[in-house]
């Protein structure tokens, strides 16, 4: 046994030396024949080809950057040219290079910044960390103090010193603006100095206050958290509020360090076996990082860029969008890369809506802003000392006469005194409001932009979280195909809540269904910010009622697949973590559970083959690379990875919980080893 372990521990790239492997390397019956052209032959492996039959082979032969054969050991040995390298895989699993169909690789680069690393953290600990980290030389971003990786959905527990995140950040500085960037790119928190910088439409600095949220910034009110008095509590959602306080330029904090070290981009992908990806919201201002890697011949990936332009920024005072100007910018970037074999700028990114997390720590609880087909419920939360988190104690009857009268009063500009109302009725008067979230842009603008982008030959990558946003996105794609033809096949991504009646529309309109599978699992603190706003959680099943609308329709991978949709996978790194963690996602896809927690709607789990295909051949199809990548077949590029364990065997033997521990031993791109865990 010891000898076997020692053998497995040795480097498994074994050069074919004539005096050891003469029979393998110089078979007189094959050397010099037309088929004996392989420069490297990998044998004794378990190689998943991801072909139409889900075939496994034991050997693969490559020449230059291409695969010249797959099959049995003897057959591929016969392909070896004289002096070829023979690599003994020692039974290891080999997969095609992974395709991450939704990642933000530049934001995920491991540069040194102040980061809370998405850890659930109390308000007191946030204040302490931010005070210490932002005083280090070079860690401040201009005059702003910037901290990234804030977990907006867990932690943030109040204490004796701080009741709100604004109070915690006021302790960091009362002179300089402080901002926390949420780990998802949609949530932020700021101090009072930052709030005081808000500029209204007339260019006056009036600040974000209880008063201006009812006047100058009434449209921003759904994106600004408040305390029980109506005063902003420091929480902001989406970039609109950031623009108001002059913080829009901070969305890419740390970018200067990324430019100084462009090689770090490859550290995001190659150690995780990612050889192709979609930059899911490529900022034109950051493309010089790609250019630097290309110039140094250090870009080892096949990338597509989903160019992000805010159509609202191209609108005049009447709301008319200059699509010609917008698309001219996109077309110029596409033309710049049109002859590059590794990068194509042929996608456009659109945000159809925002996010589905509410904030139970605000008073009243901030509602989700994702576009929802129903009316969000108004749960009543209270703090639970035992669990150190909130629990739901009841719901506001928003259709009661009291709430009807209260809404009318609020809409007339007469807000009841919050403390007295709450003392009498047990909830904040604003919880009588009935909301369904919002689309990120007017529906007509979404329809027009999708149609015009499709007409210009771009493929759409559309962020759609809520079920109404998904419906509108499908409507827009359907209309674009009717107007322009059905050549383009677009992507909807996230798909947190999908109406059953929309399942078949994915296949009917050739729309790829993109999931970050790690999110399709239980997380009790996170779930408390989502589920109670759609399903009543005061029954025996609590938040996880199998008949609940959210529970049964969240991330419906299996249902969409059964309806004919092609399911693909993406990490959305650095959301949650800068690590793209493909094997965590694969584990969640097959078990709907990670980190030892119970599953979330096991009926929507998919097979290990479907999960791997979502990262390989299916994603390659979505990225228009399946002709050259995504599977290990003769004639395709030699992009593949070697793993330390067999994830198929784990899934099939009931040990799927170990898939997330998988390590990539080697990553090969275009026939060259570009990453090794042992070197």
pLDDT, tens digit, 9 for 90 and up, residues 228-274: 788 999 999 887 788 888 887 665 556 778 899 999 999 999 999 99
| Cβ atoms 461, 345 nearer than 8 A | no
Taking only the tens place, the pLDDT of each residue in 515-537 is 999 999 999 999 999 999 999 99
Classify residue 98 by burial, with Cβ atoms within 10 Å: 0-12, 13-18, 19+.
Answer: buried
82, pLDDT greater than 80: yes
Residue 224, SS3 per DSSP: strand
Angle between helices 323-336 and 443-455 (to 10 degrees): 40
Give the total residue count for the chain.
Answer: 679
61 and 129 part of one domain = no
Question: 81 and 175: one domain?
Answer: no
Per-chain mean pLDDT for the chain: 91
Cβ–Cβ under 8 Å, residues 624 and 545: no
In the chain, pLDDT over 90 holds for what percent of residues? 76
pLDDT at 533: 98
Residues 86 and 185 in one domain: no
Res 88 pLDDT > 90: yes
Per-residue confidence at 11, pLDDT binned at 50, 70, 90? very low
Phi/psi region, residue 71 (left: phi>0; alpha: psi -120 to 50; beta: rest), is left
- C-alpha angle 435/437/439, rounded to 5°? 140
pLDDT in the model for residue 114? 85
Cα separation, 207 vs 656, whole angstroms: 52
Q: Return the structure tokens found at 232.
A: 């902003």
294-346 pLDDT, tens digit per residue, is 999 999 999 999 999 999 999 998 989 999 999 999 999 999 999 999 999 99
Q: Is the domain of 12 the same as that of 64?
A: yes
Would you say residue 272 lies in a domain? no
- Please name the residues in contact with 106: beta carbons below 8 A apart, sequence gap of 6 or more: 252, 255, 258, 265, 279, 283, 286, 289
Residues 151 and 53 placed together within one structural domain of the fold? no
Three-state secondary-structure class, residue 239 = helix
Residue 32 reports pLDDT greater than 50? no
pLDDT above 80 for 185: no
Could you give the CA distance from residue 587 to residue 605 in angstroms, rounded to a whole number? 10
Q: With contact defined as beta carbons under 8 Å apart, do 203 and 183 qualify? A: no
**CA 256 to CA 260: how far, in whole Å?**
6
Q: Which of 251-260, 358-367, 387-396, 571-580 has the lowest mean pLDDT?
A: 251-260
Q: Taken in order 613, 614, 615, 616, is the CA torsion positive or negative?
A: positive
The structural domain count of the chain equals: 2
Inter-residue contact 106 to 255 (CB < 8 Å): yes
Residues 6+ apart with CB under 8 A from 104: 185, 279, 280, 281, 572, 573, 574, 575
CA dihedral 220, 225, 230, 233 (to 10 degrees): -130
The residue-averaged pLDDT of 601-619 equals 98
pLDDT (tens digit per residue) in 476-517: 999 999 999 999 999 999 999 999 999 999 999 999 999 999
- Residues 240 and 152 grouped into a single domain: yes
**Residue 128 in domain:** yes
164 in a domain, yes or no?
Answer: yes
Q: What is the pTM of this model?
A: 0.90
How far apart CA 515 and CA 567 sit, in angstroms, is: 7
Instruction: Assess whether 176 and 234 both reside in one domain.
Output: yes
31 pLDDT higher than 80: no
Give a yes or no: residue 659 inside a domain.
yes
Q: Is the pLDDT of residue 167 over 60?
A: yes
Containing domain of residue 187, as a range? Answer: 123-253
Band of residue 34 on the pLDDT scale cut at 50, 70, 90: low
Q: What's the CATH number where 13 sits? A: 2.30.40.10
424-448 per-position pLDDT tens digit:
999 999 999 999 999 999 999 999 9
Q: State whether the Cα torsion 350-353-354-356 is positive or negative.
A: negative
Residues 135 and 219 in one domain: yes
The answer to whether residues 74 and 178 belong to one domain is: no
Which pLDDT does position 678 carry in this prediction? 85
Does residue 603 contact residue 562 with C-beta atoms inside 8 Å? no
Mean pLDDT of 55-68: 98
């Amino acid at each position: 046994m010891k000898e076997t372990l020692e053998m497995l521990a040795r480097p498994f790239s074994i050069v074919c030396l004539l005096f050891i492997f003469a029979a393998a390397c110089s078979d007189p019956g094959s050397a010099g024949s037309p088929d004996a052209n392989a420069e490297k032959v990998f044998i004794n492996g378990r190689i998943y080809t991801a072909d139409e039959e889900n075939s496994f082979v034991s050997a693969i032969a490559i020449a230059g950057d291409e695969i010249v054969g797959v099959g049995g050991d003897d057959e591929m040995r016969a392909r070896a040219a004289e002096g070829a390298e023979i690599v003994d895989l020692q039974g290891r699993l080999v997969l095609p290079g992974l395709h991450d169909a939704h990642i933000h690789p530049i934001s995920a680069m491991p540069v040194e910044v102040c980061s809370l690393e998405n850890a659930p953290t109390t308000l007191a600990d946030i204040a302490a960390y931010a005070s210490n980290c932002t005083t280090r030389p070079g860690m401040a971003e201009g005059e702003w103090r910037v901290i990234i990786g804030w977990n907006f959905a867990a932690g943030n527990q109040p204490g004796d010193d701080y009741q709100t995140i604004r109070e915690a950040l006021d302790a960091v500085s009362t002179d300089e603006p402080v901002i926390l960037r949420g780990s998802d790119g949609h949530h932020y928190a700021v101090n009072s100095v930052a709030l005081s910088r808000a500029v209204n439409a007339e260019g006056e600095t009036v600040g974000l206050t209880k008063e201006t949220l009812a006047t100058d910034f009434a449209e921003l009110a759904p994106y600004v958290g408040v305390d029980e008095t109506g005063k902003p509590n420091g929480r902001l959602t989406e970039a609109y509020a950031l623009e108001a306080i002059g913080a829009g330029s901070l969305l890419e904090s740390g970018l200067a360090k990324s430019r100084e070290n462009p090689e770090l981009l490859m550290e995001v992908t190659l150690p995780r076996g990612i050889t192709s990806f979609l930059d899911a919201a490529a900022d034109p201002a950051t493309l010089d990082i790609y250019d630097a890697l290309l110039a140094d011949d250090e870009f080892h990936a096949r990338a597509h860029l989903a160019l992000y332009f805010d159509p609202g920024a191209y609108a005049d005072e009447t709301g008319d969008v200059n699509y010609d100007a917008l698309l001219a910018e996109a077309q110029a970037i596409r033309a710049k890369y049109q002859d590059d074999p590794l990068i194509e700028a042929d996608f456009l990114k659109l945000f159809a809506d925002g996010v589905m997390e509410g904030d139970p720590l605000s008073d009243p609880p901030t509602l989700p802003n994702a576009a929802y087909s129903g009316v969000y419920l108004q749960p009543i939360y209270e703090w639970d000392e035992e669990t150190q988190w909130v629990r739901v104690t009841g719901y506001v009857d928003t259709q009661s006469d009291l709430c009807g009268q209260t809404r009318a009063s609020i809409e007339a500009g007469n807000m009841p005194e919050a403390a007295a109302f709450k003392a009498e009725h047990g909830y904040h008067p604003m919880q009588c409001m009935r909301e369904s979230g919002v689309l990120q842009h007017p529906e007509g603008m979404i329809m027009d932009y999708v149609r015009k982008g499709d007409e210009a030959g771009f493929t759409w990558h559309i962020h759609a979280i809520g079920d109404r946003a998904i419906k509108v996105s499908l409507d827009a794609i359907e209309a674009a195909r009717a107007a322009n033809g059905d050549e383009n096949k677009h992507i909807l991504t996230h798909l947190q809540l999908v109406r059953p009646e929309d399942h078949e529309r994915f296949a009917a309109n050739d729309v790829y269904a993109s999931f970050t599978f790690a999110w399709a699992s239980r997380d009790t603190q996170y779930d408390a910010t989502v589920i109670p706003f759609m399903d009543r959680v005061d029954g025996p099943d609590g938040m996880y009622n199998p008949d609940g609308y959210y529970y049964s329709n969240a991330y419906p991978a299996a249902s969409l697949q059964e309806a004919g949709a092609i399911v693909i996978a993406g990490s959305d790194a650095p959301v949650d973590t800068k690590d793209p963690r493909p094997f965590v996602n694969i584990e969640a896809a097959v078990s709907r559970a990670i980190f030892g927690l119970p599953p979330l709607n096991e009926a929507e789990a998919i097979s290990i083959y479907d999960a791997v295909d979502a990262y390989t051949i299916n994603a390659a199809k979505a990225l228009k690379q399946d002709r050259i990548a995504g599977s290990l077949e003769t004639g395709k590029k030699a992009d593949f990875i070697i793993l330390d364990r067999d994830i198929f065997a784990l899934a099939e033997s009931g040990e799927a919980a170990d898939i997330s521990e998988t390590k990539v031993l080697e990553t090969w791109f275009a026939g060259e080893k570009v990453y090794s865990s042992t070197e």
